[in-house]
Amino acid sequence: MRTLSINFKNNPETKPLFTWLLIICCALVSIYTWYLLSSVLQRNDELSQQLIQLNHEIEMRQADIESKSENLSKAQRIRIARRNQLPWANVFSILEQTKPVHIAFLSVKPNSNNAYFQVEGEAKSVEHLLAFLNELNRRSVIRYALMSEHKLIQKGNKQLVKFVINVAWYEVGQ
């Protein structure tokens, strides 16, 4: 068997090889770092362009919204304000509190142009309908409740009164 001899002296033949390997590794690391940095900078530029474009779109939409809101007529603004001022919780509460057992609501529709809402429904008799109408008119938050339509309809063996009532409320500040 052969013995291995290790010589720790400076060997001029191995020193340049190690130096060149170290230089090549440093160069490869530098190139890879430069590549990563350039891709990050490129992505940063893309994101900046997208951000500028989005800000421009936001400004355009805000300007469009402002121009549309400026173009609203006074009547449209009043209609929107009235619709927003309708106290829906109170409306449904009053309707449920005043509704006799023999009345069924089919729909409740706002009409903000004229500051009222329509109640469409069915009653078992005209007496029940008139009692409901009178009870609505006694409420302090309701300006008036008027029947605009009614007709007798036949459902099976029952005769019902189909009705539409216009109910006006007091606007906020009145």
- Render pLDDT for 34-75 as a digit per residue (tens, 0 to 9): 999 999 999 888 888 888 888 888 888 887 777 776 666 776
Whether residues 57 and 98 share a domain: the answer is: no
Whether residues 153 and 101 share a domain: the answer is: yes
Residue 156 pLDDT grade (very low, low, confident, very high; cuts 50, 70, 90): confident
Is residue 76, in this structure, part of any structural domain at all?
no
Separation between Cα atoms, residue 118 and residue 167, nearest integer Å? 6
Whether residues 65 and 90 share a domain: the answer is: no
Whether residues 62 and 99 share a domain: the answer is: no
Is residue 1, in this structure, part of any structural domain at all?
no
**Phi-psi label, residue 173: left if phi above 0, alpha if psi -120 to 50, beta otherwise:** left
101-146 pLDDT, tens digit each? 889 889 888 776 666 888 999 999 899 899 889 988 888 878 889 9
Separation between Cα atoms, residue 105 and residue 164, nearest integer Å? 10
Range 95-125 burial, b when 16+ CB lie within 10 A, else e: beebbeebbeeeeeeebbeebbbebebbbbe
Whether residues 31 and 93 share a domain: the answer is: no
Whether residues 55 and 119 share a domain: the answer is: no
Is residue 139, in this structure, part of any structural domain at all?
yes
Residue 9 pLDDT grade (very low, low, confident, very high; cuts 50, 70, 90): low
Q: Tell me: pLDDT of 5 over 90.
A: no
- State the total domains in the chain: 2
Q: What mean pLDDT do residues 18-33 have?
A: 90
Q: In what order do the strands lie in the sheet with 158-169?
A: 103-111, 116-123, 158-169, 142-155
Is residue 2, in this structure, part of any structural domain at all?
no
Range of the domain at 164: 86-169
Whether residues 67 and 93 share a domain: the answer is: no
Is residue 90, in this structure, part of any structural domain at all?
yes
Is residue 101, in this structure, part of any structural domain at all?
yes
145-154 pLDDT, tens digit each? 999 999 999 8
Separation between Cα atoms, residue 138 and residue 102, nearest integer Å? 19
Residue 174 pLDDT grade (very low, low, confident, very high; cuts 50, 70, 90): very low
Between residues 70 and 174, the one the model is more confident about = 70
Whether residues 91 and 64 share a domain: the answer is: no
Instruction: Please report, for the domain that includes residue 101, its CATH number.
Output: 3.30.1360.100
Is residue 5, in this structure, part of any structural domain at all?
no
Q: Tell me: pLDDT of 172 over 60.
A: no
Whether residues 66 and 92 share a domain: the answer is: no
Is residue 28, in this structure, part of any structural domain at all?
yes
